[in-house]
Amino acid sequence: MNDRRRKRVVVLISGRGSNLNALLHAAIDPAYPADIAGVISNKAAAKGLESAASHNVPCVVVSEDDYETREDHDDAIDETLRSMKAEFVCLAGYMRLLSPAFVKKWQGRMINIHPALLPAFKGLNTHARALASGVRIHGCTVHFVTAGMDEGPVILQAAVPVHSKDTEETLAERVLKAEHLVYPRALAMIAQGTVRMASGQTMFTGSEEIADPQIMISPGMRDKARST
Ligand code: GAR
């Protein structure tokens, strides 16, 4: 039988927390299938902790400075997740590599948002690299977290155009708006069970597997098509 209970989700952050905020807002709706049950930050100064507190969501700071090794730090995070009874974990601007043992424990139940259309632009400074490379379409990806950094199977992506006058800041702003749209949607999909990870791949069930038939055309191409 389908489990319609709201799933307990804990969000890991390191900073601003705008994606956390998008998830908190989505979860205000009682029909949303996930409940943000807690927030863990590895930085005491993370601004996102204020958003969590304003939604009365329990927050815990687990600083890497208090642990000798990455494994010890991740063990402490794992314990905190279990104490919060987390069923799923969302990485939302959590800017620290996770140890393979931790990733294995949560594999299939942990997702991340990355500010690029993976597999393009893994790692940091994605907007600057997108601009430097000359791509005309950029975007963001929600994916399951696996051992390889930014390598897990993709759940959802959103594309935005790159304008010729874009700076790193204007492009980042456009991508961030897309992030705030797709992250709550991707979390809803895993909480409802319409998407799951199996054999290292994303498996879709129900209508979610039917792709939107629209094709996004990068800026410039449409004008050219019109003029011919
Ligand atoms: C977001 O753009 C997120 O995609 C990115 O950090 C930002 C966090 O912003 N994550 C990564 O780069 C992970 N590789 P936020 O704290 O306002 O959500």
Residue range of the domain that includes 38: 1-106
Mind listing the pLDDT tens digit for each residue in 105-164?
Answer: 999 999 999 999 999 999 999 999 999 999 999 999 999 999 999 999 999 999 999 999
Which tokens hold the place of 29?
């709706």
pLDDT greater than 60 at residue 225: no
Q: Do residue 41 and residue 91 come from a single domain?
A: yes
Q: What's the confidence (pLDDT) of residue 123?
A: 97
227 and 123 within one domain: yes
Q: How confident is the model at residue 223 (pLDDT cuts 50, 70, 90)?
A: very low
Average pLDDT score, the chain: 92
Which residue do the tokens 């205000």 mark? 28
- Cβ of 41 closer than 6 Å to ligand 1, yes or no, is no
Q: How far apart are CA 142 and CA 177, in angstroms?
A: 14
Count of domains forming the chain? 2
92 within ligand 1 shell (Cβ under 6 A): yes
Residue 228 has pLDDT above 90, yes or no: no
- pLDDT of amino acid 227: 44
Q: Which residue has its alpha carbon closest to ligand 1 atom 3?
A: 93
Q: Bridge partners of 196?
A: 203
Q: State both tokens at 119.
A: 């597999």
Active site residues: 114
Phi, psi of 91 (to 5 degrees): -90, 120
| Whole-number pLDDT of residue 207 | 58
**Are 183 and 129 within one domain?**
yes
Q: What is the Å distance from ligand 1's center to 94 Cα?
A: 7
Q: Is the pLDDT of residue 221 over 80?
A: no
CATH of the domain at 141: 3.40.50.170
Q: Which residue has the tokens 């004008």?
A: 223
The preferred substitution site among 19, 122, 174 for testing ligand 1, maximizing ligand atoms within 8 Å of CB, is 19
Q: Is pLDDT above 60 for 224?
A: no
Are 141 and 210 contained in the same domain?
Answer: yes
122 lines ligand 1 (CB under 6 A): no
pLDDT-derived band at 3 (thresholds 50, 70, 90) equals confident
β partners of residue 55 = none
- pTM score, whole prediction: 0.93
Domain closes at, from 53, 83, 106: 106
Ligand 1 atom at minimal distance to the Cα of residue 46: 16
Same domain flag for 150 and 207: yes
> How deeply is 136 buried, as exposed, middle or buried, from its count of CB atoms within 10 A (0-12, 13-18, 19+)?
middle
